[in-house]
Structure 1
Amino acid sequence: MASDESFSDFFYPAADGLKLHTRIYGERNADAWPVICLPGLTRNARDFHELALHLSRKAEIPRKVIAFDYRGRGQSDHDPDIGHYNVGVEAGDVFAGMSALGVEQAAFVGTSRGGLIIHVLGALKPAVLKAIVLNDIGPVIETEGLAHIRSYLDRAPKPKTLAQAVDTQRRVHGADFPALTDADWARMVRAICRETAAGWVPDFDPALVDTLAGIDFSKPLPGLWPQFDALAAVPLLAIRGGNSKLLSAASVEEMGRRHPGMETITVEGQGHAPFLETGTLPREIADFLDRAERESE
């Protein structure tokens, strides 16, 4: 069912029967690699709207773009078993969506948790990955960044108006994102929240917060270096927020050492995770995908 002129909604069943949702942009763009966009822990397909418009309409090589809502986010069903809110199950849901759409291979853009899911996809079926953009995520997650995420999710307020919701996000994240404009903050709120009779509420299953409850933030989290090393043959662009607490500059340096062809972008004035629609990022991402596809021929 068409939502507006820029994208359509596609629903498909997960292996366990949950109804899951994607947005599809540029559906008729069949002459280039499609792009699959995977959002962060509590985020959804709306995060990629502006980037998807650029890749599907404005880029030199227009592409079909598919943005996923994981289970429990956006327009996808909530899961009664919160144990299913994990990257393994979500990777399976992405495979199911690709199968339902008839997509065998694609370039992938993964923000935060989306990048972790890309690591899992590569471990399970590496041939699906034609190129990768990792947005502020790598094989090592800094516990400070994850603790910050849990702290603001635990005490998330319930603003009544859009202006209050924007103010809330600015107060929580403003120190890490001094480069954002008023329009950026408003767009962020519309992407991560939905308006209800009770006010602006986060557009995800509240039970997701419980999945972070058992993490000991005093200890380093297990790394994914073997899974990252398995991506060495895939063209890779790593984007890091200059103020990120989740992805360290040292991790990016080590990623580049292990993946000599990796390209990097540091987004100054932004933290975790950079807004992919800001500045020159849409053009730089499109150019990276174009180069990767040309060099594969």
Structure 2
Amino acid sequence: MGRFSTSDGVSLYYSDEGAGAPILCLAGLTRNSADFSFVAPHLAGYRVICMDYRGRGQSDHAPDFMSYNILREGQDAIELMDHLGLERVILIGTSRGGLIAMALAYGQPARLRGVVLNDIGPEVAPIGIERIMDYVGNEPAQADLEQCAAALAHVHAAGFPGVPLSRWRQQAEFMFYEKPGGGLGLRYDARLRDALVGQAGAGEAVDLWQLFDALRDIPTAAIRGANSDLLSLETFEKMQARHPALITATVPDRGHVPFLDEPQSLGAIRALLDLTK
């Protein structure tokens, strides 16, 4: 476990475990390094590094919430690599982390040995964006983590059928904490919502397909939850058509996002790792 300071003075947390070729894990929008707890035991023989973005997990909140953006977070990832003396990494990017991976493939391709995209692509379904905006920046209504786990199981019952309550309890603790006076707090800066709103009105959006196309010369795997509301089947098929060498896996009984310890997820990750040896 460690910390480092970015070039603009924000202290970021990271975990660094194991030995071997380095794998850098980047989580989703409001998530943190704990999200990779389920896949980490399956990555024996590799050095697994997980970074908490600025304003998430155990990293400091940024003075300027508008720095909560993909380009700055990608720069933070490069600065962490430089801090650790790593020239190249295999990058596993879940959702937001996958967008950062595509941005790095476009701007810093020499730093990537391989990429795994977890339930993300160059087009993001509007229904998924609406769902995200419904919760970002809002503390849960539940009184404790047990109630939160039950709520998560209920809300995600259709997208994640059969997931035991114990898994949702773990996920609840990754995402929230119990406040001393009661209720649950966010494990991220609530101003992330302000950043999203501000960036949405900041002009024309980047062409994500241009960023995705930069992965053509980098070994890449793409994982999709069969019930995902963020990565549509149509987009997933377009990704395969534009990147014929793309390793793909669809995870049944999973929405956004797969936990990455499912057999299909592990199969895609292992195939990608084999290509990078």
| TM-score exceeds 0.5 | yes
Structure 1 partner of 2:142: 159
C-alpha deviation, 1:215, in angstroms: 7.4
Which of the residues 205, 212, 220 maps onto 2:189?
205
* Alpha-carbon distance in structure 2 between the residues aligned to 1:167 and 1:212: 28
Q: CA RMSD in A?
A: 2.0
Which of the residues 17, 27, 35 maps onto 1:39?
27
Residues 126 and 132 (structure 1 numbering): CA distance in 2 closer, same or farther, change over 3 Å? same
C-alpha deviation, 1:124, in angstroms: 1.5
Which of the residues 214, 218, 221 maps onto 1:230?
214
Residues 75 and 168 (structure 1 numbering): CA distance in 2 closer, same or farther, change over 3 Å? same
Structure 2 partner of 1:19: 11
Runs of 4+ that moved beyond 3 A: 214-217, 220-223
Counterpart of 2:223 in 1: which secondary structure? Answer: strand
Which of the residues 253, 269, 275 maps onto 2:259?
275
Give, as a single letter, the amino acid of the residue that structure 2 aligns with 1:232. R
Moved more, 153-162 or 221-230: 153-162
Structure 2 partner of 1:292: 275
Aligned-residue sequence identity (percent) comes to 39
C-alpha deviation, 1:154, in angstroms: 5.5
CA contact (8 A) 1:140 1:222 kept: no
C-alpha deviation, 1:50, in angstroms: 2.3
Counterpart of 1:175 in 2: which secondary structure? Answer: coil
1:180-202 residue CA offsets vs partner (Å, 9 max, x unmatched): 11122112112112233133322
1:171 equivalent to 2:151? Answer no
Counterpart of 1:231 in 2: which secondary structure? Answer: helix
Structure 2 partner of 1:119: 102
C-alpha deviation, 1:145, in angstroms: 0.5
1:186-244 residue CA offsets vs partner (Å, 9 max, x unmatched): 12112112233133322000111222335779xx9654111111110111111111111
Residues 51 and 86 (structure 1 numbering): CA distance in 2 closer, same or farther, change over 3 Å? same
Counterpart of 2:121 in 1: which secondary structure? Answer: coil
Alignment gaps of 5+ in structure 2: none
* Alpha-carbon distance in structure 1 between the residues aligned to 2:189 and 2:155: 21
CA contact (8 A) 1:51 1:282 kept: no
* Count of aligned positions: 274
1:52-74 residue CA offsets vs partner (Å, 9 max, x unmatched): 22203xxxxx1000011000001
Residues 228 and 286 (structure 1 numbering): CA distance in 2 closer, same or farther, change over 3 Å? closer
* Alpha-carbon distance in structure 2 between the residues aligned to 1:13 and 1:154: 25
C-alpha deviation, 1:125, in angstroms: 1.0
1:3-37 residue CA offsets vs partner (Å, 9 max, x unmatched): xxxxxx110001111100111120xx13xx21110
Structure 1 partner of 2:114: 131
Residues 216 and 38 (structure 1 numbering): CA distance in 2 closer, same or farther, change over 3 Å? closer
Alignment gaps of 5+ in structure 1: 1-8, 57-61
1:263 equivalent to 2:247? Answer yes
Counterpart of 1:160 in 2: which secondary structure? Answer: coil
Residues 216 and 172 (structure 1 numbering): CA distance in 2 closer, same or farther, change over 3 Å? farther
CA contact (8 A) 2:136 2:190 kept: no
Residues 154 and 14 (structure 1 numbering): CA distance in 2 closer, same or farther, change over 3 Å? closer
